[in-house]
């Protein structure tokens, strides 16, 4: 049968106008059926792609990310992948030339999405995979197919913390206003022969848990160096549960430093007794003299601080326990035979003589532990002073040839860096702390006054679950 015969059969002898109308009708019907056929095929392809599992590891904000995602169906050919951008998320998406994979890479960030400085930001995003499927023709009005898949950027937990200012203006009296941070450097000039002297650096920073709730910093420190060579250092941690502990810690530090300054400014007999004790540390008589001196200088400093806090509490008609604070106090001086160090310690935290060369660490007391986790003893407790045995047990002294650093710190530093009291006696842990400081921007070289800002910055270190106020003082 030739073509003309076929045309005759189709036209059935109708006139040209009817034949043309018939062919148009037939064409429209067939094209519509073809479109339905295409849509059926597209639906089949979409269902296949929808069932595909795309495994994309979560990105972490602030951590370099590079992940190639393979398409698990060879008939699926990617044209484009969108949903995140370098401008908004710090990430770029690159589709492979063959369309069978794409790569997400860059330094993830959510900062542009933290509108108005809010701590939280959207972290789950929808990636749109535009693709074609082999063997399927797509209509002109739909050149590609799409598959949506989720992609997560885990927020940097540090960014979730708010740094809210203390509303001092609306705080009822007594306000006891203080600063969120405190840092200081005591530079001690070299001797006439050029021999360098140890310096002191200290820093204190409001904890994230305090900043989150717009609460003040409760820690405090104070330090001094006298012309006759004596160093004095004090660090105090106001109890978080005590409403006015920030003033308790301040009073404690200010009082003990003042008392020690007055006593050590005229201390020739004390130094004579130190020299005698050095010659025979087993001597009962020399031991009694030293004990009496330490009680008079260091012990009375702590007692005066206790009384000063009670006096302020009485003046304000507030219970003294509202000013609860710990106290770490140390005095030391270099003699011809080495260093003499005396101390008083009540509460938690840590106070330690550390020597890197000999790989030794020596605690100047014992951290107090309460019946339950997080409890400790405070300077405001009367039995600290009413029980002579307990009080004398808090006074320590020793002579060492030399040391790398004398550390005083609140538990905001000791807890994350040492974790357990047992670790406080481990020289390896003190080595790690010393290296941590140096490796993270704290230059503890002679006369480096910039160390106070460096140490303050270091206090911002991240440790999950440890967000208390942080204070550290270092004689080095």
SS3 78: strand
What gap in Å lies between CA 194 and CA 178, rounded to an integer? 39
The pTM for the full model equals: 0.82
Q: What is the reported pLDDT for 2? A: 77
What gap in Å lies between CA 244 and CA 322, rounded to an integer? 5
Contact 325, 309 (CB under 8 A): yes
What gap in Å lies between CA 364 and CA 454, rounded to an integer? 26
What gap in Å lies between CA 171 and CA 152, rounded to an integer? 42
Structural element, H or E, at residue 406: strand 405-409
Q: What is the reported pLDDT for 372? A: 46
Block means of pLDDT (10 residues each) for the chain, 476 residues, are 73 77 78 76 86 95 97 95 97 97 97 74 93 84 90 92 94 94 96 90 97 96 97 97 97 98 96 95 92 97 98 97 98 97 97 97 89 73 92 96 98 96 96 98 96 98 96 98
Angstrom CA distances, 223 to 299, 325, 366, 429, stand at 17, 17, 22, 25
Closest CA to 452 of 220, 180, 202, 198: 202
DSSP state of 238: B
């Amino acid at each position: 049968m030739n073509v003309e015969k076929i045309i005759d059969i189709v036209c059935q002898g109708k006139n040209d106008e009817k034949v043309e109308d018939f062919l148009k009708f037939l064409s429209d019907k067939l094209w519509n059926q073809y479109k339905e056929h295409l849509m059926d095929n597209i639906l089949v392809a979409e269902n296949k792609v929808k069932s595909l599992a795309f495994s994309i590891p979560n990105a972490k904000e602030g951590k370099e990310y590079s992940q190639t995602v393979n398409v698990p169906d060879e008939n699926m050919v990617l044209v484009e992948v969108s949903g995140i951008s370098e401008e908004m998320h710090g990430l770029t998406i690159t589709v492979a030339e063959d369309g069978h994979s794409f790569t997400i890479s860059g330094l993830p960030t959510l900062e542009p999405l933290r509108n108005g400085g809010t701590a939280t930001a959207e972290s789950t995003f929808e990636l749109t995979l535009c693709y074609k499927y082999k063997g399927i023709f797509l209509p002109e009005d739909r050149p590609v197919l799409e598959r949506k898949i989720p992609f997560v950027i885990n927020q940097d937990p540090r960014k979730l913390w708010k740094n809210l200012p203390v509303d001092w203006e609306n705080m009822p009296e007594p306000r006891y206003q203080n600063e969120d941070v405190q840092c200081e450097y005591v530079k001690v000039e070299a001797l006439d022969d050029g021999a360098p002297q140890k310096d002191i650096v200290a820093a204190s920073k409001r904890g994230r848990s305090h900043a989150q709730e717009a609460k003040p910093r409760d820690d405090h420190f104070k330090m001094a160096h006298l012309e006759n060579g004596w160093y004095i250092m004090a660090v105090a941690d106001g109890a978080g549960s005590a409403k006015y502990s920030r003033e308790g810690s301040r009073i404690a530090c200010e009082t003990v430093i003042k008392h020690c300054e007055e006593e050590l400014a005229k201390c020739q007999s004390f130094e004579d007794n130190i020299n005698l004790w050095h010659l025979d540390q087993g001597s009962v008589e020399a031991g009694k003299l030293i004990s009496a001196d330490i009680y008079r200088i260091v012990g009375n400093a702590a007692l005066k601080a206790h009384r000063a806090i009670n006096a302020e509490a009485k003046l304000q008609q507030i219970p003294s326990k509202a000013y609860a604070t710990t106290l770490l106090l140390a005095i030391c001086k270099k003699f011809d035979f080495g260093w003499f160090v005396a101390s008083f310690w009540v509460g938690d935290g840590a106070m330690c003589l550390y020597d890197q060369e000999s790989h030794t660490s020596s605690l100047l007391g014992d951290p107090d532990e309460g019946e339950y986790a997080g409890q400790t003893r405070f300077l405001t407790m009367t039995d600290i002073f009413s029980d002579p045995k307990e009080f004398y047990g808090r006074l320590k002294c020793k002579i060492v040839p030399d040391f790398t650093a004398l550390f005083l710190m609140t538990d905001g530093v000791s807890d994350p860096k040492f974790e357990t009291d047992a670790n406080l006696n481990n020289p390896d842990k003190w080595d790690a702390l010393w290296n941590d400081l140096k490796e993270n921007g704290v230059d503890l070289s002679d006369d480096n006054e910039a160390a106070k800002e460096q140490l303050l910055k270091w206090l911002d270190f991240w440790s999950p679950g440890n967000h208390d106020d942080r204070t550290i003082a270092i004689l080095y």
